Structure formats: C-alpha cells, structure tokens
Structure 1
Amino acid sequence: MSEKTPTTPKCRSVVWKVFKKPAERNRPRLPCPLCPGTSIVYGGTTSGLKTHLETHHKDEMLKIEKAEVTPYNELTKFHDLQQTSNAVAVKPDQSQIYLARSFATGGIPFSFSKNPEFVRFLTSKPENFVIPSPKQIKSLIQVEAIDYLEKLTHEFKKVKKYCLMTDGYSKVQRGFHFYSVHVGFVDKNFTRNVKFVALRNVEKGDAVSVSKAINGVLEDVGLKLSDCTNITSDAGSPLVLLADLHQIDRFHFFQVKAYSSTGFRIHCACHLLNLIICEFSQVKGVANYYKVAQKLAAHLGRCKEDKNKLKMLAEALKIKSPLPLPLPTTRWGGMHILLRNYIDNYEAIKNVAILKKYLIKEANMNKMKELVVLLKPIHEGILKLEKDSSYVSEIIPTMVWIRHKISQITSGFSTILLKAVDKRLAQCIRNKRILCTMLVDHRFAYVDKWVEPMKWCDVEERIGLYETKTASFIDAKTDVSVVDESFENYVFKHSSSNNDNNGSMESEIVRYRAFLSTNRPSDECPLSFWKSQKNNFQKLSLIASELLCSPASSSVSERCFSKCSDFVRQTKRNRATTETLNDLLTVTELCKLKRTQEIVASDTDESDLSDDDDEWTKISIEETAAEEMRTTSNSEDSEDSFSIIDNDDDLVET
C-alpha cells in the first residue's frame, strides 16, 4: 500500500514557521521566502533549511524562537515583516486563528477589527488580563451608562431651552414598544449640540403613556418638559397630541388664541418628503412600475442563489450600482432607490433566466426612467435634510428647490408630483415657527420667493412673541468686568444706537433688515453669523439660539433604531431588554464623546462598519426587508389590495 500523504501536514520543525512545507516529501529544493530567487536543498530533511536560516537570517530566527514563548506579540510582528518584504505569506499564529474563529461563530462584522474601542482594548490589555464573564461585561456597561447620564445631567444644568427629537419603535413579536429621546440645544458659544438621552418603554401607544415615558427620561437628567420649545418628529398621532397637550412652543406661553398648537410642531422634513413619494407611488400607472420592482426585490431577498447569480453578472458587466434588493418600509426615498437600482441592473437581470418574469418591456423602460428622474430631487432633498448639520430654516427652501427641479422635467407624471409637493409646501408655509426660524437665518431672511404668498412683515409680527430676557443657556460669565472691558466693547456699549442695549425689538428688526439688504454675509452656518453679531442684535440673537437648536429632521432617532434593531430582530441570538439596549446605546454615545474630547478624527459606527464586502452588517436588514416585501407581495396578489392599479401584464416581458 502506498503511504498516504496528508494534505495539511503537521508542522513540527521551526523551519516551517518560514518555509511552506510541500506535500511531496522528496521534493529536491524549496524556495526561501525571505530571499526571493534562492532555493535551498530539501530532499525530505530540514537540516539544510535550518542551516540556511541560521546563517543568513539570524534576526528572523531569534524572533521566531522568541515567538514560541510569546506568540501573542512577537509572531505578529514577524508576520508584518514578511508582508512588507513581499515574501510568501506564512501560516498565521494560533491567536489570530482564534480571533478569526470568534468573528465567525459570533456573527461579528469583519470590519470590527478596526473598531477604535477594540483597538484601544488590545493596546491597553495587561499581561495578566482575565476575561470577564458575561455578567461582568453587562455590569460594566451599566456603570458606563450611569457615568454618561451623570455627565449629561451636569451639562444640562446650563440649558434653559431645548428642542426634543423623538420617535417610537415597535416589534410586536418581541413585545417591544419604546421611544428614543434626543435633546438639542445651543450653548453660550452658539454651538448646537444634539445629545442622545435614553430609550424608554411605553405601556400603551397613547399620548399620555408617551408623555409619561418622555417626562421620566427628561427628569432623570434634570430637564423639564415645560422648558422644551419644540418637538421634531414624524406625524404620529401620539406625538402630535403630546405637543398639543404640553403646548410645546413659546407662542402658547402668551396664550395667543389665533395660533393653533399643531401648527408649530416641526414635522420631520425627511418624513414629510417621503410622504410625497408614498403618495406618488400609489398613482395609477406609477404603482405598476413600482410593483414590478418590488416583486423582483422580494424574490432576490428570498432566493440567495439567484441573488448571487445576478451579482456575478452585474460585476462581469461592470455595473457599479447595488442590486435591487428589498428595503425596509421605513427607508426614506426607498421607491427612488429601488427603481434606480432596477434600471441600472436591467442588462444583468435580462441574462438570468428565472428573473425573466420580472422584466419590464423595453418600450416601457423610458417611463420608469422618467420616474427615477422625477424622484431624484426629492431623494436629494432627503439626503440633505437628514444630516445633523441641517436647520429647520432649510425645509421650505429645499422644497422650493425640489419644486423648481420637477417643473423643468417634461413628463406626464410631473404635474401629479407637483401637486403632491405643493400640498406639503403649503403645510410648511402655514407653520409659523418654520417661518420665524427662516427670519433669523441670514441666508433666507427677506427673500420674498421663500415665503410666498406670505409676507415678511407678517413673520416680523410673530417673531416678537418669542422675545424674552432669558437665553437658551446660563452663562455665569456674561458680565465683563470694568478692568477686562476692551475699548471696542466700551465704545459700542455707550454708542447712541445701542445705548445700554435698551433698544426695542422693532428697532432691532429694522436694523437687521437694513443690514441684510446692504451686506448679506456669506456664512454657511446661521449660528456662526449670530455668534459674530450677538452684540449688534442682542434680542434677536437670543431668539435665534432658541429657534436654531433643532435639525430639520428626526433622523437621529432613525439612526438610533437602526443600531439597536439587530438585537430586536434576532430572537434566537439575543434576548436583550429595552434597558439593555438603552445601556448599549448610551455607552456608544459616551465613547463618541470621549473620542471627540481627545480630538480623534474618526467616528465609531458609520465609518467603521460600512465596508461593501462585509455582508454581516447587511444580513438582518435584508432579512427584515425581505419579510416585509413578502408580506406586501402576498397582499398585493389579492384583487382588492391594489384597486387603483391596472393589470400590469402589459408591462412585463412574456
């Protein structure tokens, strides 16, 4: 019988830390990976290989011998040396293998190896480190969460006015019903801060239960709901009623009966724009194209084999756009994304036999392309307003820009879409808080086209209701001593036009209007403008600090839910409660805060966990979206579910 040669022979000699052991034992010579072009006599014995290493590579041999004692440190450095010298890759040490196995068995994203906190742990780990138990890790996270809340409580002592960004999340299968709370405020340096506070369970979905939960969160950090000047949220009825019950806006403190409370809660701009897309998606004709793309996405979400075939074909055709995969129903601009990806991958879809039934006829492709072109400005508006750096004052100008872009597109659907945009634009123009915020934004103030058919004089009357002697923050060092007072401040303080800062609001508005009409600043940030002009317009600057404290959308809540939803979805892998999710998110915010204080440029999750090659981060999202699409597809197969849609057989290839 012939001797069986093992495919992965066990390496015993130290030379196999450098040389790659051949499958053929009698191979005459082996190439040296440390000196390319050189081959050493082998013939089944390692004597010649070891002599070569001891003679020509003494330093590397010392490192290998040392690595036998401390494999966790020195062997990694030796491997780095091998890679930098373009040598043949050597076998990784056992610690790296164990680490890779932990990633595989734990379902951890591969890019987690770049996580700043993980890297910090590796560099600070002592030699006698003892791995903590799961209970100890959970306890440490709870302690860190408490530490973060204490820091917030101390910071909020200086906050007098703030805005609230909140949204709800429900998962019926797990019994999850909770709300997230974020607080935005402007500090004494006219810098806006948006802070995550907590997640909190709600017993019911009514306004009273939501109000009770949010009140409890705010009380934990020393804030009062009565000091909240605005709520930015979607149009959920509990949140609308919450703003109504608590009279969230300074207008109500003056008991002005002419103004409706529901007119001043800020409707999340991204949700508002997405409602336009949702309304448009149900229009007769439009829905047919969307339905075909949804069915394809649902199929790809169910069948991984067909998805992989399509992916390989798309790569072969050098298509860079993502596949038309299912998207969660809460994804803003989802219709535009899905139709765009469908069109971009159309050539690849045609070459997969089983996907033929999801093809649209070539003659109808131009119509679908028209839809993508029409929806593009709205999606771009969503991407702009979902940023934390956005302002409420940008909502109306963005919608005016969207309307302008759509009106220039020649399409049979453009008139229908313009009606939907006009409906939401009129809703925003009726919101007096948005108009007042635009007045204190030097980029848009006194530009007539932004507020038509309203007049700026009407806005001036309403902004006076915000006049108050209390700033959005407590500044114990506001008064400048006589000794430290500069000549410029002294002259300004005693000038006739600003004597003792007793000018009326009306006079400040007149001077502000004249200032913008003669020399409108080019600052991109309105808060930077008010930081430089706070001495010239002291009353308006205080109002601006209140009105500009909120972003244009509640996207911070959506991002918060996307971080914790993986725990909620995967019932077999995690039994985390809302309290545990709250602690995890709180510690994440604490880590961000500490890295910001240390002037670390990189952020935590968004930049480090966004590799396109990393499928782990996408699995749960795709599974959930596919489940939603399956539910939608099943309901759409009934005769009554899409009564506004004609038969789409004439769209699909046969």
Structure 2
Amino acid sequence: MEKVKFPIIVLHLICTWGDIFVSVLSTPVFLFPVTAGYPLGVLYYVMPTWLLCYLGYATLGHSLRSKFSKNRSEYVDRLKKELKHVEKAWLSFDGWEAKYMDKSIYAIFIYYVENFQRKSALLGIECVEGSATAANVGKLVMRMLDLYCIDKSKVLGAVTDAGSNIVAFLDRNELFHSHCSAHVLSLIIKKSAQITHIKELIAKVNRCAAFLSRSKVERGKFRERSSMLNIHGRPPLPFSDTRWGGALLLAEAFLNHYQSLSATPALQDYLMNADDLAALKKYVNVMKPFLEALNSAESDNSFCSEVLVQFSHLSNYASSLEQRSALGRCLSNETKSRYDSYVENDALLMSTYLDARFAYLPGILQRTRWEFIENSIQLYCDSIHVLNQTATGPPPKKPTLEESSFSQFVQSKRVSSHGSSVQAEMSNYKAIVLSGRPALDSSPLLFWHAHRDRFPILQKMGQHFLACTQSSAIVERLFSVCGCIVNNSRRNRMKSSTLNLHLLNASLATLQAKNEAGEMNEYDECEQSDSESEENRHEEISGEFNDDIFEEALARAMTI
C-alpha cells in the first residue's frame, strides 16, 4: 500500500476537481430528450458557455481517456520488445457473454519462456465482430497477434476449453490444442454430483448456503460463532455457476463449518441427520484427490507436462474404488474416458517427455511407448529447424570464398548427421533421467537451464513445450474481475473498449511495479498470487467484491 499512496492521492485530486467542477463551477442542467442544456455555476458569469464546455471536456474527459490511451500504447510497445525475440509461445483465450449478451468478448493471454523462466502477459480483451464463429474468433486472435507484431509461426498452440469454435480455429491453423485440465476435472466433479443420492445432499447444502447469503444478520451471527469456535476458512456461501468444482467446494465448506451451523439457532432447519451427514462426508473424502488435482491445475505455477501424470494417478485411484457403487463407476468411467483422450494429444506427450520429473516413467502413457514420443521429437526438430540455431560456444569460422570439394563433402555429411545428434541427446537424456530425477516440486525449466550446454537441441524444445500451463484459469480469473467491474453500479454501462483500456492500464501498472522492485521470481509470484486469491475467496460474501486492488493498479497507471 505504501507504494501507491501518492498515485491514489493524485487520482483522488482528479475526482475532487471533477466534483467541484460539476457541482459548483458549471452545475449543468440538461434538457432531455434533446441534446441541450445550460450552466448555472459560478463560471457562467465569467466565461461563455462554449468555453465552459471545452474546459470540462479538456480537463476531465479528454485528459483521462488520452492518458489511458497513452498508457495502453506504452504497454503494447513494452510487450512488443519483450516478445520480439521469443521463439515459440502458447496462447490461452476464452469467450465471455455475461455482460455483453449481444456480443462475445474474448480475452487473450500469451505464455512464453525467457531465460528459462515462464512468463505470461495479457494481450487484450475485445469483442468479436458478429457471431463467435471459428472464422471471427480467428480474425480477432490474428488481429491481436498483429498488434504485438507476433508472427503466427511462433505460436505453437493454445490451452482452452473444448468450445467447438476455438477447436475449429486451432485445427484450421494446424495448432496444438491442450484441453484445460481444470475444466475437465470440473466436468468429472459435476457428473459425480448428479448421482441421485449425492444430488439430494448437495441440494440441502445449497438451501443452507442460499439462506446465509440472503440474511445478513444471520450471516453475522454465524461468523461470530465460527470465530468463537476458532473455525476458519471460506464460509458455506454460494459459488457462481461457472466456478470450477463449485458443488464440491461448497460441500467441503459446509462440513468444515458444520459445528458453527449447529450452534446457530436460525440454521437448525438446514442441518442434516446422521446418515446424510455421514454420506456427505464420505463423498467429500472420496473426491479429495480430484479436488487436489483441481487446485493444482488452477495454479499458474502448473505445467502442461503434469496433465498425463495427474490423470494417470486419478485413473488408478478411481479404478481402486468400489465399482458396485454408483459413485465408483461414475468416477472410473469418466476419468478413464478423459485420460484416453489426453494420451492421444501429441503436445502433452512431448511436454511430458521433456519434463525430467516424469520422462520414461512406466505406466503413465497406457499403450503409448516412449519410443513413439522420441520419433515425434525427431520430426518436430526437423520441421522447425531447431538444429540450425543451436549455437553454444565459440562462433563458427567465416567460410572462405573458394571451398574445396573435400570441404563441401564434409559439410554435407555434417548437415546430414544432425539426426544422429538428436538421437545422441535423447540417449544421454534418458540415462540422466533414469539415474536421478529432479525434485517433484521443482520447475522442469531449471533442469534444462542446468543442462543447456549438454542438450542444445532438447533444451530448446523444453522451452517451447513447457511454456504451456495445465489450464486457462488465468482467463477465468480475468473474467471474474471483468464481471465485478461492469456489474458495479458505477460502471454498468462501460463499453468493451473502455474495459480493455482499464485492464491494459492495470497491467502496465503491474509491469511498472515489477521493474521498480526488481524482477520477481516467477514461481514466488505465482505462489503469492495463489495465496492472495485464496484469502480473497475466503472473504467473499454473497457475490460482493472488493476492487481496491484494481483501483490501486489504475491509480499507479495514472502516474506512469
């Protein structure tokens, strides 16, 4: 908060000037429905009306919007410079229609690796022209890439949901598609919650949560009892319909606070009998591995190389459950079906191979063999000509103008022997991995940084494929912020272009703060943001939102 005190004061002074100008100096009176009016303020006796109108527009409307536009241009220019030397990148984007029902608004993020550290950046948020078809979504994505001078050939693929328009766009452009694992896990959890007896239990939990969200008085009493009983965590309040795994999270919160609910007189009608309570506890306990996987997938610190291993673990766990029960059969069938589709994804297979924590682990690829992935690696290297860019060590000597036939013969053999060098690297890589793996909680990019000289080809591929995350949670979090902005009574008529200016200005302020404080370690930053979001989630009350962080970011942007 200390770093934004002055920017907030500046923003408050601008707002104060606006209040004084409108209420005292101009006091405009509008004559509707025509566009007409007249001033009644003190400046009416000092200057003509047209000059008064120009003064208000120049000092308030035009100056603020021009400042925002200037900051937006500065953000785009800075990001252009960062992305100029990026070899390969991944996108994450999705559509949102909660506010602009007649149009679809799409947010686009980019992931890339720089100096063996993964980075992400917001490219923008804009409305799709016309209906959200694959062609129109493609035009929007290409327009955004052109804005930042990103060549299409640098984009490897995207991590998104399974929207037909998005998948069609990626297929037409021959880009990899990684289905958001958090979305897949949410579908599995949602399917399990549709089982008859579990659905009835969830309905009871929802009725209790709905009552708490409606009654502010009883909610306050409930919080007091939770505090007295030293029970912490998110209260059992309704989640939004789009919250991944919301039903399971609500059931877990209900059980955590059940003692507080029992001590609240007004909530006695919403308590469960012993059998229902035991059944709900059993359901939550059975679903814990899926909830843990969902929390891991939502983290920006996750890697797409973890998807196959995660679903291999969940598939084994689901198959070990009692198959005579409806829940066991549902989880086993759903998990196996999703796991089978993931094993056929070439991008996930190659990223798993390039993660030294999981490469050559037996049993995680089902019938797919590691030799098949090695062949895919070989084909990828040949297709993108990575081998021509692996200059480590002293620069090559300048060729002479007249080369003998012998030197040309040797050079041709060197070029044709590139394939064997890839094979040699893969053989050495396998030996190193099987002799000792990195820690499970370490970054796979650190392995390639430590062995960048030994594996000049594979380390480039590692940077290409390990730039992708498990899920598109970063887009969903942005849409949550967007919903809180445009649903606010002060901004409920905000246009999508203005919303884009706000978000890019906030991104610029965050970028500026990073540069002033020094480059923060990517993984520390992710852990910090995850813990803060979890804390904010616990403080959430019936859809209420505290947008102080967003306001502080805008305040910083005003002084850049």
* 1:105-184 pair list within 5 angstroms: 114=1, 116-119=3-6, 122=9, 133=60, 135-171=62-98, 175=102, 177-184=104-111
Determine which of 489, 494, 508 is the counterpart of 1:576. Answer: 494
Distance of 1:431 and 1:610 partners within structure 2: 31
Distance 1:474 1:511, change over 3 A: closer
Instruction: Tell me whether 1:428 sits opposite 2:346 in the alignment.
Output: no
Is the Cα–Cα contact under 8 Å of residues 299 and 530 in structure 2 kept in the other structure? no
Matching residue of 2:189: 277
Identity of aligned residues (%): 24
Aligned residues of 1:141 and 1:584 also touching (Cα < 8 A): yes
Q: Aligned in 2, Cα 1:473/1:330: closer, same or farther, shift over 3 Å? A: farther
C-alpha separation in 2, matches of 1:608 and 1:539: 38
Q: What's 2:134 paired with? A: 207
| Aligned equivalent of 2:261, options 343, 349, 359 | 349
C-alpha contact 2:99 2:483 (8 A) present in aligned 1: no
Q: Tell me the residue number matched to 1:192.
A: 118
Q: What's the counterpart of residue 357 of structure 2?
A: 443
Relative to 1, partners in 2 of residues 1:124 and 1:173: Cα closer, same or farther, differing over 3 Å?
Answer: closer
CA distance in 2 between partners of 1:199 and 1:567 (Å): 14
SS at match of 1:448: coil
Deviation of 1:304 (Å)? 2.4
Kept after mapping to 2: 8 A contact 1:336/1:372: yes
Structure 1 residues 618 and 144 mapped into 2: Cα distance closer, same or farther (>3 Å)? Answer: farther
Residue type of the partner of 1:201? C
Structure 2, gaps ≥5 residues long: 19-58, 398-413, 547-560
What whole-Å deviation, never above 9, does each CA across 1:418-454 have from its counterpart, x for those lacking one?
3222221122112122111111111111111221232
Q: Cα deviations across residues 291-318 of structure 1 (Å, max 9, x unaligned)? A: 1112222222233233223323333333
Alpha-carbon contact 2:72-2:504 (below 8 Å) kept: yes
Partner-residue secondary structure (3-state), 1:450? coil
Matched with 1:359 is 271
- C-alpha distance in 2 between matches for 1:120 and 1:283: 53
- Give the 3-state SS of the residue equivalent to 2:94 in structure 1: strand
> How far, CA to CA, are the matches of 1:174 and 1:532 in structure 2?
50
Rounded to whole Å, the distance in 1 between the matches of 2:248 and 2:12 is 48
Shift of 1:605: 8.0
Cα distance in 1 for partners of 2:289, 2:222 equals 29
- The answer on 1:390 being equivalent to 2:302 is yes
> Which residue identity lines up with residue 386 of structure 1 in the other structure?
E
Following the alignment from structure 1 to structure 2, what is the Cα–Cα distance between the partners of residues 577 and 124? 21
- Aligned AA for 2:466? L
1:517 corresponds to which of 415, 430, 434: 434
Structure 2 counterpart of 1:99 = none
Distance 1:478 1:512, change over 3 A: closer
Structure 1 residue 590: deviation in Å? 1.4
Residues 429, 475 of structure 1: CA spacing in aligned structure 2 closer, same or farther, 3 A cutoff? closer
CA distance in 1, matches of 2:10, 2:213: 41
Say which SS state the counterpart of residue 199 (structure 1) adopts: strand
| 1:326-346 per-position Cα deviation (integer Å, ceiling 9, x unaligned) | 101121221221001112222
CA distance in 2, matches of 1:576, 1:472: 46
Q: 1:422 is aligned with what amino acid?
A: K
AA in 2 matched with 1:219: D
TM-score by length of 1: 0.66
Tell me what 2:28 maps to. Answer: none
Shift of 1:504: 3.6
Q: Is the 8 A contact 2:392 2:456 kept in 1?
A: no
Per-residue deviation, residues 346-372 of structure 1 (Å, max 9, x unmatched):
233334454344322122211100111
Map 1:87-106 to 2 at 5 A.
none
Letter of the 2:425 partner, please give it: E
Secondary structure of the 1:538 match is coil
* TM-score, normalised via structure 2 length: 0.76
Matched residue type, 1:463: I
CA distance change for structure 1 residues 550 and 572 in 2, over 3 Å: closer, same or farther? Answer: same
CA RMSD of aligned residues (A): 3.6
Letter in 2 for 1:543: M
More helix by share: 2
Cross-structure match for 1:530: 448
Q: Which amino acid aligns with 1:198?
A: G
Q: Distance in 2 between matches of 1:216 and 1:450?
A: 39
Q: Quick check: which has more Rg, 1 or 2?
A: 1
Structure 1 pair 117/473, CA: closer, same or farther in 2 (3 Å)?
farther
Letter in 1 for 2:503: L
CA–CA distance in 2 between the matches of 1:606 and 1:123?
Answer: 30
1:190 maps to amino acid: F
Which is further off, 458-467 or 227-236?
458-467
Pair 1:556-2:486 in alignment: no
Secondary structure class of the residue paired with 2:287: helix
Moved more, 421-430 or 162-171: 421-430
Q: Which runs of structure 2 are paired with 1:611-650 in the superposition (5 Å)?
A: 618=541, 620-621=543-544
Give the aligned residue type for 2:349: L
* CA distance 1:122–1:549, shift in 2 (3 Å): same
Q: CA deviation at 1:178?
A: 0.6
Give the corresponding residue for 1:260: none
- CA deviation after TM superposition for structure 1 residue 552, in Å: 1.2
Q: In structure 2, give the amino acid aligned to 1:243.
A: L
Does the C-alpha gap of structure 1 residues 548 and 567 become closer, same or farther in structure 2, counting only changes over 3 Å? Answer: same
Residue of structure 1 aligned with 2:179, choices 252, 267, 283: 267
Contact 1:234 1:268 (C-alpha < 8 Å) held by counterparts: yes
Letter in 2 for 1:200: E
CA drift at 1:373? 0.8
How does 1:237-636 map onto structure 2 within 5 Å? 237-249=164-176, 265-405=177-317, 412=325, 413-468=327-382, 480-481=394-395, 503-522=420-439, 524-571=442-489, 573-599=491-517, 618=541, 620-621=543-544
Query: Any conservation in 2 of the 1:326–1:622 contact (CA below 8 Å)?
Result: no
Give 2:479's aligned amino acid: F
Amino acid at match of 1:275: L
SS where residue 272 of structure 2 aligns?
coil
Which among 141, 148, 152 is matched to residue 225 of structure 1?
Answer: 152
Question: Which region of structure 1 is more displaced relative to structure 2, 433-442 or 519-528?
Answer: 519-528
Deviations 1:557-596, CA, capped at 9 Å, x for gaps: 1121122211222356432111111111112221222222
Amino acid across the alignment from 2:517? I
Q: Look up the SS of the partner of 1:179 in the other structure.
A: strand
- 8 A Cα contact 1:393 1:434, kept in partner: yes
Unpaired runs of 5+ residues, structure 1, are: 1-113, 250-264, 484-496, 624-654
Relative distance call for 1:608 and 1:420 in structure 2 (3 A) is closer
Q: Determine if contact 1:160/1:471 at 8 Å carries over to the other structure.
A: no
Q: Aligned AA for 1:549?
A: A
Give distance in 1, aligned partners of 2:218 and 2:75. 47
**1:589 and 1:156, CA in 2 relative to 1: closer, same or farther beyond 3 A?**
same
The aligned amino acid for 1:220 is L
CA distance in 2, matches of 1:312, 1:513: 58
CA distance in 1, matches of 2:422, 2:75: 40
C-alpha distance in structure 2 between counterparts of 1:180 and 1:460, whole Å: 35
- CA spacing shift, 1:396–1:610, aligned 2, 3 Å: closer
Q: 1:408 offset after TM fit, Å?
A: 6.2
1:171 counterpart SS class: coil
Shift of 1:527: 1.3
3-state SS of 2:305 partner: helix
Q: How many residues matched?
A: 478
